[in-house]
């Protein structure tokens, strides 16, 4: 069977028995393109599209239709003021449409659909990341604080205005002095029993609330995080509902602020600062789900430990991280769709033929630049669907234990850093792969990059999040993470308490088994075995965590300062281990998704793509595998050689694989993603053909000189 | 001697004999900060500043004074139109100032100072990258084409208007269809002997001139590259001086164009497209230095080979690449100055003490993020000074052989990719290291990133340039590059033809010697030996090139298509080898600069920084060193451990090392690079201290619970 690939016709080997030998002898035999053997592989784009859209495909499709409406889309080059005004307008259109209200209680007109809400919300990044994030501020942060930190009275009182956008609001958590370290914020909320009010106060400049969406212009209320002080005791950070502006848009007495002005991106959002001078709010405005103050000022909480209470409150806000993971992955997919379509048309330099130039995507380096990132984007997409499923289970209450919430937070903290960094890396590589055309604002990359830049540090700085993950891995090191045979992802998502018990098959054994690979199983073909990839990736996480645990052991016997120094000496290693854990989760999600594909040949192509992802991760960490004796030198060399083979094998499917993301022209909106380049080439080709036929074509001086040389030779 | 570092007081070990043991036993002993031993090291910032400013320090200082003038600086957030108008205004100020005319002939009012001109020009990036690049278009490309491709008559006729900016002009080389592949452009210049005119023509859409600065708005002339056709022969690409707009700013007959509109950055420049419909220009407008057409249409050239002629013409334009290398490095230095100053003040989380939080730059990860990039920026700075020296020698005519020109081109092609990618990587890491504050436009990172983004693909796409370098390395493989003992950089810069002869000490021997390191010289202390670093870096380049040459050997016996496929299979490896070559050149330049430092303790600190650069490069390629038997597992592990040790050792000097770049506040213009964060912390600290003294401080609930627990225990 012949598959017509975009750009050139190819036959692909379904199972090439010579692969193993070929890769093993990579220094003797050179792969010069797809091997033509009988039995080629057809990729069913529809099957892949369904897999990529995942569990909430209907909602995503509806939200994409919304994002395809011109009035929802960004106008590039608008001034900051115009952009802000447009996004606010679009927010009202979102309310009209109703989709953004899915998360809210049914009694207030919502759908009580936490997972579906996030799925739909993420797709708004296709219209304008500013719209996505400003919606996130209004309904995902400001609204969610009321929903999750307040009780029914707050929901009934405040949510209708928030949902309808009658009350745009700011989520006032971060301060100038404290971003990631929320527990140390300086704003105080001191209870005054004599008037039954809280006094919200900003005691110094560093405690100004900072970077708040809706604060500079639109917000008329805010959910303010402050140290709750009553009866002389500081009960730690709590959240308060505080009106900030009057009906004329003027700050209420005691409240002041500044506009953050121009940012690196997301300029459709009016970020700003707020400060409070002894601002009094009713006692009732404490969002009191996890802690309350009675009329007399006595404090009560359902959670005895102040530390656990703090993390429980913050945990309700995990959806920000979840949605950034999804939106960033969508942006990567969009960028790759544009760059791969262009790379499949654009030609430059004619090395191989006398007439036509080479298509960019036929160059090895171009394949190496784009296809591993495509594989990674697939991995992120599948991992995100799993994360969102977990989120939905927790927030629907179907699986909402403390362990579930902790698992959800760890998953989000592991995946959000990887996907947001990946989006920047991918958008930049796409932009460069499209040359000067990639730098034109109209081709999307630079604009998306600028907007997504801040995703890597907001809703949890990526490096801080990865440290949280690593700490969790360290904590769990001696218990549940010993159980290596069911997969790391499964432990978060489907495992029950009973499954989490200690199992004899500990990681030491696994480590030893893997340590033998170099000598016992030399065939490079193994690299494409699912089990081998799984073990290599799993072993790395566990070994790294084990090593760090070993290094940190003396800490318990030392002073606080010495323990901190010791921990600091392992910081880089901790972050690296957490990253390895995230990569493993993604690989497992990719593998699980591929295994669910029914269509055999589609599954084959996606398995190649999964292999490309797995081997790219292993290649990135090759030094570790070599130093730790997990891969022999010979096997390590085969990794890169096999990646080169895989990208060439996947190249004919590249356009189909990005088409499977399912974006329409209204989402791409990039001139270079259309057929323009091909048309221009056809025109040029026709011009030269006509010139040749006319007999008027000038002779090339080089040809002339060659002819003269030949003539001279003959005359001698 | 005690050195007062910024942020904390330290003593540094001049020579620590325990370093070797410490690193070797890294898994047993943990480095918990600077070792306090007698003999500490003082860094003399002035000495370093002089070294960094390099050969053209006076000119750089003057140009920086220019860049410090408010009217020369970018106003962030301007509309594209306003930004364009402002930059044009600034260009007129540059003419008034006179510095930008240094490159032009003395008889026309210039200084005939090629190197000094570039040095001064590069520093304009501190004012506004748009100003730098638009100046580059006017005087560096448009003007240089007339200067270097024209003859005296053209210089006398056209340069005065170009120099005075009476004639703003576009450099019309790139086409929609052809960027990097200039030889394939479609625009034609056909000689009509009957009227003694050239007819400039755009035969199809793909041949429209594209991305030209000055084309959308300001340009009234252009240097147009086109296929020169006369008497039925195409003599290849030549350059023509073509008026494009009349005194009212309207296109002249036959000429049309479009505005490129908004770009990812550099929006102070009016990039646009141009096309020509049978536009007639006098025969004299051919810039005829390397090829001329007589009245009767007969073609003559001083360079017989059309290929060599083409590359000679293009070679005269190398200064674009040279200046991007310098400007990108200056931008990296600026970004690091801002981020390191902030990282030295900003505190977050209090792991080590009960009261004060940790300064960011005391975290290992923060050191790891910023200090290796600082070391790399030093390496780029020193390498650039060498490149510019070479440029000056060639363009002053002092050393202007074909070999010299080729060497210059190879050097520029090796260094520009590395420094421009480094700038993006560094600015992004700096932005993230400063969190939300880094995303604020006013703190410079995002704006500089957006502007410098295109540096990696213009004036030669980085990947294309690296392939040119690799091809040169392959060509030279069997001759001059065998001579490994004098350093790779020296071969380009100081070596004479005689020195270039074959030497017996070939690279195979070297490779074998290095291959033995793993077993014969185990002491990790060797890693900081200059000779060891040199050999590791040199050997890698040579071995990679040797391996590629081996792979490509069969190409000569194959068809053009097969040879191209074979070459393509090595494309990734070629680019990687060229990158390794560039890294070696930088390391050599860094080492040479350090060796010139007289002050012993300053030299010691800079040697640590050089080691950090060298070992960071080796760490990045660790898998290669392991797979190729150049580093034992033990030695490889020591690389990362020693880097951790080096960043901790260099940390107290971090602020001095960026201060040595010599930027003033008027160059930094970033609120976070001032003392604001420290002042806010002082204010917060004073507030808490006063509160504690007042006796009104609330008790922390955690403390209360601990007390209750203790009381209960006692009462039992």
Asked whether B327 and B128 are in contact (CB, 8 A), the reply is no
Report chain B residues whose CB lies below 8 A from the CB of A181: 348-349, 357
Report chain B residues whose CB lies below 8 A from the CB of A178: 348
Q: Using CB atoms, which residue from B30, B435, B687 is nearest to A204?
A: B687
**What are the tokens at B314?**
């293009």
Please tell me the least confidently modeled range out of B45-54, B320-329, B366-375, B397-406: B397-406
Report chain B residues whose CB lies below 8 A from the CB of A577: none
In the block, residue with structure tokens 């490095």: B329
- The third-level CATH classification (topology) of the domain covering A53-315 is Butyryl-CoA Dehydrogenase, subunit A; domain 2 (2.40.110)
pLDDT value for B354: 64
Determine phi and psi for B434, rounding to 5 degrees: -100, 10
Give CA separation, A64 vs A58, A84, A608, B147, B532, in Å.
10, 22, 29, 55, 57
Asked whether B215 and B208 are in contact (CB, 8 A), the reply is no
Angle between helices B45-53 and B364-395 (to 10 degrees): 40
Report chain B residues whose CB lies below 8 A from the CB of A431: 264, 453
- Delimiting residues of CATH 1.20.140.10 domain(s) in chain A: 318-667
**What are the tokens at A306?**
């102040």
Give CA separation, B529 vs A267, B515, B626, B636, in Å.
50, 17, 19, 15
Q: What is the mean pLDDT of chain B?
A: 88
Here the ipTM equals 0.91
Give yes or no for residue B320 having a pLDDT over 60.
Answer: yes
- Delimiting residues of CATH 1.20.140.10 domain(s) in chain B: 3-39+318-667
Report chain B residues whose CB lies below 8 A from the CB of A227: 698
Give CA separation, A366 vs A23, A339, A441, B679, in Å.
21, 10, 22, 50
- Delimiting residues of CATH 2.40.110.10 domain(s) in chain A: 53-315
Is residue A242 within a helix (H) or strand (E), and if so which, with residue range?
Answer: strand A233-243
**Among B75, B167, B170, B87, residue whose Cα is nearest residue B130:** B87
Taking the C-alpha atoms of residue A555 and residue B46, their distance in angstroms, rounded to an integer, is 42
Report chain A residues whose CB lies below 8 A from the CB of B457: 432, 435-436, 438-439
Q: Give the β-pairing of B299-300 and B292-293.
A: antiparallel
Nearest CA in chain A to B627: A633
Within 10 angstroms of residue B195's Cβ, the number of other Cβ atoms is 11
Nearest CA in chain A to B369: A572
Nearest CA in chain A to B352: A561
Determine phi and psi for A10, rounding to 5 degrees: -140, 155
Taking the C-alpha atoms of residue A328 and residue A333, their distance in angstroms, rounded to an integer, is 9
Q: Is the dihedral of CA B110, B114, B119, B122 positive or negative?
A: positive
Half-sphere exposure of A596 (CA within 13 A, CB side): 14
- Helices and strands of chain B, counted as H and E runs: 28, 14
> With an 8 Å Cβ cutoff, are B569 and A31 in contact?
yes
Q: Using CB atoms, which residue from B261, B626, B687 is nearest to A626?
A: B626
pLDDT tens for B407-440 read: 999 999 999 999 999 999 999 999 999 999 999 9
pLDDT value for B477: 72
Report chain A residues whose CB lies below 8 A from the CB of B692: none
pLDDT tens for B615-665 read: 999 999 999 999 999 998 888 989 999 999 999 999 999 999 999 999 999
> With an 8 Å Cβ cutoff, are A234 and B698 in contact?
yes
Report chain A residues whose CB lies below 8 A from the CB of B567: 351
Give CA separation, A36 vs A2, A10, A11, B9, B565, in Å.
10, 8, 6, 69, 16
pLDDT tens for B211-270 read: 999 999 999 999 999 999 999 999 999 999 999 999 999 999 999 999 999 999 999 999
> With an 8 Å Cβ cutoff, are A76 and B307 in contact?
no
Asked whether A313 and A323 are in contact (CB, 8 A), the reply is no
> With an 8 Å Cβ cutoff, are B205 and A680 in contact?
yes
Please tell me the least confidently modeled range out of A51-65, B425-439, B467-481, B700-714: B467-481
Q: Is the dihedral of CA B706, B712, B714, B716 positive or negative?
A: negative
Could you write out the DSSP letters of every residue in A203-224? -SGGGSEEEETTTTTT-SEEEE
Taking the C-alpha atoms of residue A11 and residue A649, their distance in angstroms, rounded to an integer, is 10
> With an 8 Å Cβ cutoff, are B450 and A454 in contact?
no
> With an 8 Å Cβ cutoff, are A441 and B699 in contact?
no
**Among B446, B431, B429, B124, residue whose Cα is nearest residue B265:** B446
**What are the tokens at B404?**
């010299």
Taking the C-alpha atoms of residue B482 and residue B266, their distance in angstroms, rounded to an integer, is 43
Report chain A residues whose CB lies below 8 A from the CB of B265: 439, 446
Determine phi and psi for A384, rounding to 5 degrees: -65, -40
CB pairs under 8 A between A and B: 304
Half-sphere exposure of B421 (CA within 13 A, CB side): 18
Test the B interface: residue of A184, A305, A453, A622 with most B CBs within 10 Å:
A453
Taking the C-alpha atoms of residue B655 and residue B23, their distance in angstroms, rounded to an integer, is 26
Start-end of H helices in A356-487: 364-395, 402-433, 435-439, 445-452, 462-476
Q: Give the β-pairing of B255-259 and B3-4.
A: unpaired
pLDDT interval class at B40 (50, 70, 90): confident
Say which residues have a Cβ less than 8 Å from residue A127's Cβ, sequence separation at least 6: A66, A67, A69, A72, A73, A74, A90
Q: Using CB atoms, which residue from B181, B353, B457 is nearest to A439?
A: B457
Could you write out the DSSP letters of every residue in A446-469? HHHHHHHGGGGTSSS-HHHHHHHH
Q: A475 vs B444, which has greater pLDDT?
A: B444
CATH of domain B3-39+318-667: 1.20.140.10
Determine phi and psi for A77, rounding to 5 degrees: 85, 0
**Among B533, B347, B338, B493, residue whose Cα is nearest residue B426:** B338
pLDDT interval class at B557 (50, 70, 90): confident
pLDDT value for B130: 98
> With an 8 Å Cβ cutoff, are A32 and B306 in contact?
no
Asked whether B426 and B373 are in contact (CB, 8 A), the reply is yes
What 3-state DSSP class applies to A109?
coil
> With an 8 Å Cβ cutoff, are A363 and B571 in contact?
yes
Nearest CA in chain B to A552: B30
> With an 8 Å Cβ cutoff, are A351 and B567 in contact?
yes
> With an 8 Å Cβ cutoff, are B626 and A636 in contact?
yes
**What are the tokens at A347?**
């030609």
Taking the C-alpha atoms of residue B446 and residue B437, their distance in angstroms, rounded to an integer, is 11
Report chain B residues whose CB lies below 8 A from the CB of A674: none
pLDDT value for B521: 38
Report chain B residues whose CB lies below 8 A from the CB of A453: 428, 431, 439, 446
Longest dimension (CA), chain A: 117
Q: Using CB atoms, which residue from B446, B564, B681 is nearest to A352?
A: B564
Taking the C-alpha atoms of residue A227 and residue B700, their distance in angstroms, rounded to an integer, is 10
Smallest CA–CA distance, residue B619 to chain A, in Å, is 9
Asked whether B270 and B171 are in contact (CB, 8 A), the reply is no
Q: Give the β-pairing of B221-230 and B233-243.
A: antiparallel
Please tell me the least confidently modeled range out of A301-305, A468-472, B23-27, B93-97: B23-27
Smallest CA–CA distance, residue A626 to chain B, in Å, is 7
pLDDT value for A177: 93
Taking the C-alpha atoms of residue B145 and residue B224, their distance in angstroms, rounded to an integer, is 10
Give CA separation, B294 vs B200, B304, B312, B575, in Å.
17, 17, 21, 43
Start-end of H helices in A434-522: 435-439, 445-452, 462-476, 488-493, 507-515, 517-520
Asked whether A220 and B687 are in contact (CB, 8 A), the reply is no
Report chain B residues whose CB lies below 8 A from the CB of A446: 263-265, 450, 453
pLDDT value for A100: 85
Say which residues have a Cβ less than 8 Å from residue B97's Cβ, sequence separation at least 6: B66
Report chain B residues whose CB lies below 8 A from the CB of A644: 569, 572
In terms of C-beta density within 10 A (0-12 exposed, 13-18 middle, 19 or more buried), how is residue B450 classed? buried
Say which residues have a Cβ less than 8 Å from residue A332's Cβ, sequence separation at least 6: A373, A376, A377, A380, A419, A422, A423, A426, A427
pLDDT interval class at B508 (50, 70, 90): very low
Asked whether A235 and A229 are in contact (CB, 8 A), the reply is yes
Nearest CA in chain A to B428: A453
Taking the C-alpha atoms of residue B224 and residue B149, their distance in angstroms, rounded to an integer, is 12
The one-character DSSP state at A147 is I
Residues in chain A predicted with pLDDT less than 50, given as ranges, are 1-39, 480-484, 495-523
**Among B2, B7, B4, B1, residue whose Cα is nearest residue B362:** B7
Arithmetic mean of pLDDT, B29-53: 69
Q: Using CB atoms, which residue from B177, B431, B623 is nearest to A680?
A: B177
> With an 8 Å Cβ cutoff, are B446 and A261 in contact?
no
> With an 8 Å Cβ cutoff, are B627 and A644 in contact?
no
Give yes or no for residue B20 having a pLDDT over 90.
Answer: no
pLDDT tens for A597-623 read: 999 999 999 999 999 999 999 999 999
Give CA separation, A611 vs A623, B418, B522, in Å.
19, 30, 37
Nearest CA in chain A to B174: A436
Nearest CA in chain A to B672: A176
Is residue A121 within a helix (H) or strand (E), and if so which, with residue range?
Answer: helix A114-122
pTM value is 0.91
> Which H, E and C letters describe B607-668, residue by residue?
HHHHHHHHHHHHHHCHHHHHHCCCCCHHHHHHHHHHHHHHHHHHHHHHHHHHHCCCCCHHHH
> With an 8 Å Cβ cutoff, are A365 and B575 in contact?
yes
**Among A685, A664, A564, residue whose Cα is nearest residue B349:** A564
Is residue A258 within a helix (H) or strand (E), and if so which, with residue range?
Answer: strand A255-259
**What are the tokens at B533?**
């670093």
> With an 8 Å Cβ cutoff, are A568 and B306 in contact?
no
CATH 1.20.140.10 assigned to domain A318-667? The reply is yes
């Amino acid at each position: 069977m012949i598959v017509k690939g975009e750009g050139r016709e190819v036959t692909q080997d379904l199972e090439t028995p010579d692969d193993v030998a070929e890769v093993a002898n990579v220094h003797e035999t050179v792969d010069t393109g797809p091997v033509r053997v009988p039995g080629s592989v057809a990729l069913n784009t529809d099957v892949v599209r369904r897999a990529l859209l995942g569990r909430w495909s209907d909602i995503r499709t509806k939200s994409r239709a919304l994002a395809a409406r011109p009035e929802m889309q960004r106008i590039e080059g608008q001034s900051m003021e115009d952009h802000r005004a447009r996004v606010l307008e679009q927010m009202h259109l979102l309310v009209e449409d109703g989709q953004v209200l899915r998360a809210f209680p049914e009694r207030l007109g919502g759908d009580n659909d936490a997972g579906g809400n996030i799925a739909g919300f993420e797709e708004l990044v296709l219209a304008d990341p500013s719209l996505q994030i400003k919606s996130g501020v209004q309904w995902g942060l400001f609204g969610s604080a009321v929903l999750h930190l307040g009780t029914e009275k707050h929901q009934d009182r405040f949510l209708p205005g928030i949902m309808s956008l009658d009350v745009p609001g700011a989520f006032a958590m971060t301060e100038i002095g404290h971003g990631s370290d929320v527990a140390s914020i300086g704003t105080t909320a001191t209870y005054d029993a004599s008037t039954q009010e809280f006094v919200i106060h900003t005691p110094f400049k560093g405690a100004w609330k900072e970077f708040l969406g809706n604060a500079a212009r639109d917000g008329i209320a805010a959910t303010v995080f402050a140290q709750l002080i009553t009866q002389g005791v500081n009960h730690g950070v709590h959240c308060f509902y505080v009106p900030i502006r009057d009906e004329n848009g003027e700050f209420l007495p005691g409240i002041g602020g500044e506009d953050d002005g121009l940012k690196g991106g997301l300029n459709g959002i009016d970020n700003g600062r707020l400060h409070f001078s002894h601002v009094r709010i009713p006692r009732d405005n404490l969002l009191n789900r996890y802690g309350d103050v009675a009329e007399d000022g006595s404090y009560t909480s359902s959670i005895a430990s102040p530390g656990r209470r703090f993390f429980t409150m913050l945990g309700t806000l995990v959806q920000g991280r979840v949605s950034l993971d999804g939106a960033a992955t969508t942006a990567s997919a969009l960028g790759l769709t544009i760059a791969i379509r262009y790379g499949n048309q654009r030609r430059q330099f004619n090395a191989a033929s006398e007439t036509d130039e080479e298509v960019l995507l036929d160059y090895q380096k171009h394949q190496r630049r784009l296809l591993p990132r495509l594989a990674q984007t697939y991995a992120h997409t599948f991992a995100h669907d799993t994360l969102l499923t977990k989120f939905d289970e927790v927030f629907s209450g179907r699986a909402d234990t403390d362990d579930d919430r902790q698992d959800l937070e760890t998953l989000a903290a592991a995946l959000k850093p990887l996907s947001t960094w990946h989006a920047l890396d991918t958008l930049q590589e796409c932009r460069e792969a499209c040359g000067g055309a990639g730098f034109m604002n109209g081709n999307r990359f630079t604009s998306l990059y600028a907007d997504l830049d801040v995703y890597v540090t907001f809703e949890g700085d990526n490096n801080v999040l990865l440290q949280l993950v690593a700490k969790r891995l360290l904590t769990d090191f001696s218990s549940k993470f010993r159980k290596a045979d069911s997969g790391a992802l499964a432990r978060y998502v489907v495992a029950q308490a009973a499954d989490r018990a200690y199992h004899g098959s500990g990681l030491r054994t696994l480590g030893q088994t893997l340590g033998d690979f170099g000598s016992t199983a030399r065939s490079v073909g193994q690299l494409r075995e699912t089990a081998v990839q799984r073990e290599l990736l799993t072993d790395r996480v566990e070994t790294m965590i084990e090593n760090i645990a070993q290094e940190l052991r003396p800490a318990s016997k030392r002073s606080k300062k010495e323990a901190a120094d010791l921990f600091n000496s392992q910081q880089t290693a901790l972050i690296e281990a957490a990253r390895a854990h995230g990569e493993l989760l993604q690989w497992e999600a990719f593998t699980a998704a591929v295994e669910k594909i029914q269509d055999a040949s589609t599954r084959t192509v996606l398995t190649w793509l999964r292999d490309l992802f797995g081997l790219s991760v292993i290649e990135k960490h090759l030094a570790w595998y070599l130093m730790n004796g997990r891969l022999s030198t010979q096997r390590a060399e085969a990794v890169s050689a096999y990646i080169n083979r895989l990208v060439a094998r996947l190249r004919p499917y590249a356009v189909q694989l990005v088409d499977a993301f399912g974006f329409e022209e209204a989402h791409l909106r990039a001139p270079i993603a259309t057929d323009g380049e091909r048309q221009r080439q056809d025109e040029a080709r026709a011009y030269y053909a006509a010139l040749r036929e006319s007999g008027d074509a000038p002779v090339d001086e080089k040809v002339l000189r060659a002819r003269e040389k030949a003539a001279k030779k003959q005359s001698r």
